[in-house]
Structure 1
Amino acid sequence: VEAGGTLPVWVTLLSIKSRELANQRELAGMIGIQGATLTHHLNAMETQGLLTRRRDPENRRVHQVELTEAGEALFLKLRTAALAFDKRLRTGLSDDRLAEFAEVLATLRANVE
Structure 2
Amino acid sequence: MVPPPVTTPIGLVLTKAAKTASRAFDQSLAAAGGSQPIWQILMSLKTARRANQRELAEDVGIQGATLTHHLNGMETAGLVTRRRDPDNRRVHLVEITDEGEQLFHRLATAAIAHDKRLRTGFSEAEIGTLAALLTRLSDNAATDR
**1:110 equivalent in structure 2:** 139
**1:79 equivalent in structure 2:** 108
What amino acid sits opposite 1:38 in the alignment? Answer: L
Q: State the percentage of identical aligned residues.
A: 59
- Which of 48, 63, 82 aligns to 1:53? It is 82
Return 34-43 or 78-87, whichever deviates more: 78-87
**1:94 equivalent in structure 2:** 123
| In 2: Cα distance, 1:48 partner to 1:20 partner | 18
| In 1: Cα distance, 2:85 partner to 2:60 partner | 21
TM-score (norm 2): 0.71
TM-score (norm 1): 0.90
- Structure 1 residues not aligned, in runs of 5+: none
**2:64 equivalent in structure 1:** 35
> Are residues 1:6 and 2:35 paired?
yes
| In 1: Cα distance, 2:35 partner to 2:138 partner | 26
- Structure 2 residues not aligned, in runs of 5+: 1-29
Q: Report the alpha carbon displacement of residue 108 of structure 1 after superposing the two structures with TM.
A: 1.3
The count of residues paired between Structure 1 and Structure 2 equals: 110
Return 41-50 or 7-16, whichever deviates more: 7-16
Q: Report the alpha carbon displacement of residue 43 of structure 1 after superposing the two structures with TM.
A: 0.5
Question: Secondary structure in 2 aligned to 1:18?
Answer: helix
Task: Write out per-residue CA displacement over residues 36-62 of structure 1, whole angstroms, 9 at most, x where no aligned residue.
Answer: 000000001001111001111112221
| In 2: Cα distance, 1:12 partner to 1:51 partner | 10
Instruction: Report the aligned-residue RMSD.
Output: 1.3
Q: Report the alpha carbon displacement of residue 112 of structure 1 after superposing the two structures with TM.
A: 2.3
